[in-house]
Amino acid sequence: MQEHKELLERREFLKTSAKFGAAVSLASLSGFALSACDSKEDLKTDSTQNLQSTEKAGKSQIQNHLQGDTMEFITLNNGVKMPILGYGVYQIDPKETQRCVEDAISVGYRSIDTAQAYFNEAEVGAAIKTALQGGLKREELFITTKLWIDNYPEEKALKACEESLRKLGLEYVDLMLLHQPYNDTYGAWRALSRFYKEGRFKAIGVSNFYPDRIMDFYLNNEIKPMINQIELHPFYQKQAEQKVNTELDIVTQSWASFAEGKNGLFTNEILRNIGEKYNKSAAQVVLRWLIQRQIVVIPKTTRKERMIENFNVFDFSLSGEDMQKIATIDTGKTLFLDHHDPQSAKFLFDYTKIHKA
């Protein structure tokens, strides 16, 4: 089995980060909607980093933030390397998506995670175009999108994949996922596999596949999934699920790493006490905990100072004792959707209809 995690210097793109950061408009962030890591509790809690507001953030701040930073990379089972930390755009209003992604890239994020069902692929594409015009190279970016279940029959999936590339304005994406384990997943996988063989998808994977489903899928497909993106956070730690993924040489990726602020995550006593040891916030502790488990993370926020805070997790490591303490807050239960529940399947099949209504 390949060694999953590698520590690589990010100096090769520091100059382009600063150049792009200077070109991006640093608009005021007040009034934007709460996001997965912008819970009401989070907004009441001052960051331990004492970060400056976005209005005061300029080129020099970005340069100082990036100097000497490192990014950890994870290697997929086909040899493709992806940043272990990325930026997700779920539930970000399309009107704000371009600005948010531009901000994230200016901070130093190189992995961007979107999906057909997020309805903001085109806006992500606009931000990518701005970044490339600002001097960033396409190969420095790692772009993920996902095929939605109403596009799963093979022929429909082929057309939907073309449409995603068109909206993103890209000749290829780095990772395409099947978003849900329902409908004709095998037909949809054949479509993804065709794009993969053509080099238009550099890697392919799945999302929300439970152990029984991922094993069945693994055993019955020529091209094996390279990643499985699942709900995973301190209250739902999924050690057993990760173990199965690892045994199959499939990387585990977390969505809702902050549990969308539920259960008082940002003020959790254990997380905050651990954070005080390292002068870090509860959010930073969570990200570091996931990274040390070799789990890819894609935290979402609309606020640039939070983007910087979330990015600043490569200068400390949690002790074994810290990791054990975090293990004690696992409830073993989903805070969102149980994919074994028939009502969850019905909700997801109706999702795009509800959104368009």
Question: What residue has token string 């609309």?
Answer: 302
Distance CA 202, CA 308 (A): 28
Catalytic, out of 87, 109, 118, 196: 118
196 is catalytic: no
Question: What residue has token string 């999934």?
Answer: 225
Distance CA 65, CA 342 (A): 47
For residue 19, the one-letter residue type is K
Q: Please provide the DSSP assignment of 51-63 as one string.
A: PPPGGG--HHHHH
Distance CA 282, CA 171 (A): 39
| 31 phi/psi in degrees, rounded to 5 | 90, -5
What residues act catalytically?
118
